[in-house]
Structure 1
Amino acid sequence: MAEAAVQTICVIIAAKNAADTIGKAIRSALVESLVSEVVVVDDGSTDGTAHAAGQADDGTDRLKVISFPHNQGPSAARNAAIAASQAPLIAILDADDFFFPGRFEPMLAESDWDMLADNIAFIYDPASALQPERFEARARSISLVEFVEGNISQRGKPRGEIGFLKPVMRRAFLDTHIIRYDEGLRLGEDYDLYVRALAKGARYKVIEHCGYGAVVRHDSLSSRHRTNDLRSLYEADDAILADPQLPEPTRSIITRHRDHIRERYEHRAFLDIKAQSGSLAALRYLLTKPRYLAAVSKAIFHDKLEAARQKPAPAAAPPTMRYLLPGEPAGQK
């Protein structure tokens, strides 16, 4: 059932040194008839990102480009974009990603949601002219417990956390509950905002239809996070856990995620100290963290095992794209 009245969308793009990709991202948003605003925040770029963004303007007066003189991080950039926009619906687009044509119509055919995501196609060759498979727009709801559980990665398995999904969000819900991105986070800022919204009762739905193209880049900002970014993320979980009203299933799964991130932090901290001050100093540090000794030791063992097993990869055709969610091809019900 469709909403009583179709609402327009603001697309917000936080960009740092994205001059090569920002134009494609902006153009993919501006061709969508339901998009009434595109707000780009150039987060202290040094490569002409703001100029490249302006070159993508289609003359419809829907594009706004804001420039930060210094880098403030994706959370601050997104908050600035939200503050500079007015549309009742907010969509996030990363500066090196793009929308497939017609993304939003199948989404807005759904009702009863505060956050609504569609499937993602991970693109391995951005130069190829790919179109996603047509999946049925079947919808399902995601609970807070399911969302957090889907964001706990496992060694040896392809990353597929549902935190990668890019939902459209209702501004009214965010405003009512005073929810914005945590500007102290430079890693997991999306995860944190979605968890806080779900804890406030947000209705989160996902459809299998694919309208978002995520370009796979091994040098992305998220792949170059600092050790202290992990600390900030587990501290964000701690802040959520400080709410005495959290029900036990919610508290339990967020605690699992917090501990998972904390173990990753301690592993990275050990490696940092080893690189800076030597193995003995790193071992002394680890012995002061008895709670994490087993987890860090296991991670070190697996690192060494993987390094020992490394062999030249056999020649094979690289993948073109894969989907985050399975889907039923349209017309095959």
Structure 2
Amino acid sequence: MTHRPLVSVIVPAKDQAPYVSDALASLALQFDDPAVLEVLVVDDGSTDGTGELAASFADRLPGLRVLRNESTAGLATARNQGLDAAGGAYIAFLDGDDWLAPGHLAACLDSLRRLDVDFVRTDHVTVEEGRRTLVRAPQARRGTALDPRESILPADARAMVDYPYAWAGLFQRRVAERGLLRFPDGLRTAEDRPWIWRLHLQADSFAVVNAPGVIYRRGVPTSLTQVCDERQLDFLPSFAMIFDLVQTVEDPTLFWPKVARQFCAVACHHLGRDNWPGDLREPLRAGITQALAAMPQEACQGALDTLDAERRAALLPLLPGGPGRFTGSVPAESVPAAPAGVSP
């Protein structure tokens, strides 16, 4: 392309042959003229012909480029590769197994230009076994410019940092030029958690807008959410990055309660999984202990106090110094047994 494209869409895809055609067909329906799109498919070491299928859409998407990794780099690095190659005035993400309703990006672009914010966020629809469910972005104020930092809170309710989906929105190029759209290279899972925290801590403005929709396909066999191996441990360095980010702000005590609640919820989810390989259980538990020790005591206790008895039972034995570390914590002998698969 000899001119700057209007919108660059970054599509990381590994072994997405059954789905990538749906994703690209939907991109051809976003604008009256598909030539305004630059579509960057990052074929991340696929072995099923994903890249070749993507390339077959060149006649319907004149701005299509397929970037090929001979070996798998991971979702975070693949998205960064797309960012490095993107030339558009605006940037969007779409996973290779999802798709967009017709005109979705055009509606996002209209809102982004009208409001002149750094980025817009949208709701999405999940599809699983034929059932569709609307998932709303956790911000009630729609169609107005907002301060991203203010939408990190409240700590005790779902907020925008609990909605880390990169594909649920559209971004000004100026945000990418500040480095705020880059993902932590090498993270194989939970890469979007430090990404969304940095975006909301450092960007200047955003809005939540109504748009036709992102359709998110759940239950895909190749999705990392469906497997349990060492890649799932990447939530630990992911949260370590969030801890570091929060420490750089003027008043970190404002945000620590939210971080602590997020971490405890995710840690309990992993502790409750009964399909962890035996050799990964100890690294999981040791990593959680280390993270709990890194939190301010008040924030950690506040998060523990919000847990139900079963989840608190899973975390208390992992506290550095034992269950009695915090005043007010439930004594170990009065806590119900840990869930199945989680040995204290």
Instruction: Specify if TM > 0.5.
Output: yes
Q: Structure 2 CA distance, aligned partners of 1:60 and 1:271?
A: 42
Displacement of 1:148 after TM fit?
6.8
Report the CA distance shift for 1:124/1:300 in structure 2 as closer, same or farther (over 3 A).
Answer: farther
Displacement of 1:79 after TM fit?
0.6
Indicate yes or no: 2:13 matched with 1:11: no
Q: Structure 2 CA distance, aligned partners of 1:68 and 1:289?
A: 40
Q: Structure 1 CA distance, aligned partners of 2:169 and 2:336?
A: 33
Q: Identify the match of residue 195 of structure 1 among 194, 197, 207.
A: 197
Higher mean C-alpha displacement, 70-79 vs 116-125: 116-125
Residues 231-274 of structure 1: CA deviation (Å, up to 9, x unaligned): 12222222213315344323432243234444555x2799747x
**Is there any run of 5+ residues in structure 1 with no aligned partner, and where?**
1-6, 154-159, 305-333
Residues 63-89 of structure 1: CA deviation (Å, up to 9, x unaligned): 000110111111110111111120011
Displacement of 1:142 after TM fit?
7.0
Give the equivalent residue in structure 2 for 1:90: 91
Give the equivalent residue in structure 1 for 2:127: 123
Please tell me the residue identity of whatever aligns with 2:127.
Answer: I
| SS of equivalent to 2:261 | helix
Report how many residues are paired. Answer: 281
Percent sequence identity is 21
| SS of equivalent to 2:210 | strand
Q: Structure 1 CA distance, aligned partners of 2:110 and 2:12?
A: 27
Q: Structure 2 CA distance, aligned partners of 1:150 and 1:215?
A: 29
Q: How does 1:213-224 map to 2 (within 5 A)?
A: 213-217=215-219, 219=221, 220-224=223-227
Q: Identify the match of residue 27 of structure 1 among 5, 25, 28.
A: 25
Q: Structure 2 CA distance, aligned partners of 1:238 and 1:173?
A: 22
For the Cα contact (< 8 Å) 1:53–1:65, is it kept in 2? yes
Report the CA distance shift for 1:112/1:23 in structure 2 as closer, same or farther (over 3 A).
Answer: same
Q: Structure 2 CA distance, aligned partners of 1:207 and 1:59?
A: 28
Please tell me the residue identity of whatever aligns with 1:289.
Answer: L
For the Cα contact (< 8 Å) 2:28–2:60, is it kept in 1? no
Q: How does 1:299-318 map to 2 (within 5 A)?
A: 301-303=338-340
Indicate yes or no: 2:255 matched with 1:253: no
For the Cα contact (< 8 Å) 1:50–1:65, is it kept in 2? yes
Report the CA distance shift for 1:246/1:150 in structure 2 as closer, same or farther (over 3 A).
Answer: closer
Q: Structure 1 CA distance, aligned partners of 2:182 and 2:263?
A: 20
| SS of equivalent to 1:210 | coil
* Larger RCO of the pair (alpha carbons < 8 Å, separation 6+): 1
Q: Structure 1 CA distance, aligned partners of 2:274 and 2:337?
A: 10
Q: Structure 2 CA distance, aligned partners of 1:151 and 1:77?
A: 34
Indicate yes or no: 2:44 matched with 1:37: no
Higher mean C-alpha displacement, 61-70 vs 254-263: 254-263
TM-score calculated relative to the size of structure 1: 0.70
Q: How does 1:44-55 map to 2 (within 5 A)?
A: 44-55=45-56
| SS of equivalent to 2:255 | helix
Q: Structure 1 CA distance, aligned partners of 2:225 and 2:191?
A: 11
TM-score calculated relative to the size of structure 2: 0.68
Residues 91-115 of structure 1: CA deviation (Å, up to 9, x unaligned): 1101111010011232223213212
Q: How does 1:65-144 map to 2 (within 5 A)?
A: 65-110=66-111, 111-125=115-129, 138-139=142-143, 141=146, 143-144=148-149
| SS of equivalent to 1:51 | helix
> Cα RMSD (Å) of the superposition?
4.0
Report the CA distance shift for 1:299/1:29 in structure 2 as closer, same or farther (over 3 A).
Answer: farther
For the Cα contact (< 8 Å) 2:180–2:203, is it kept in 1? no
| SS of equivalent to 1:182 | coil
Please tell me the residue identity of whatever aligns with 1:120.
Answer: H
For the Cα contact (< 8 Å) 1:174–1:197, is it kept in 2? no
Give the equivalent residue in structure 2 for 1:207: 209
For the Cα contact (< 8 Å) 2:194–2:239, is it kept in 1? no
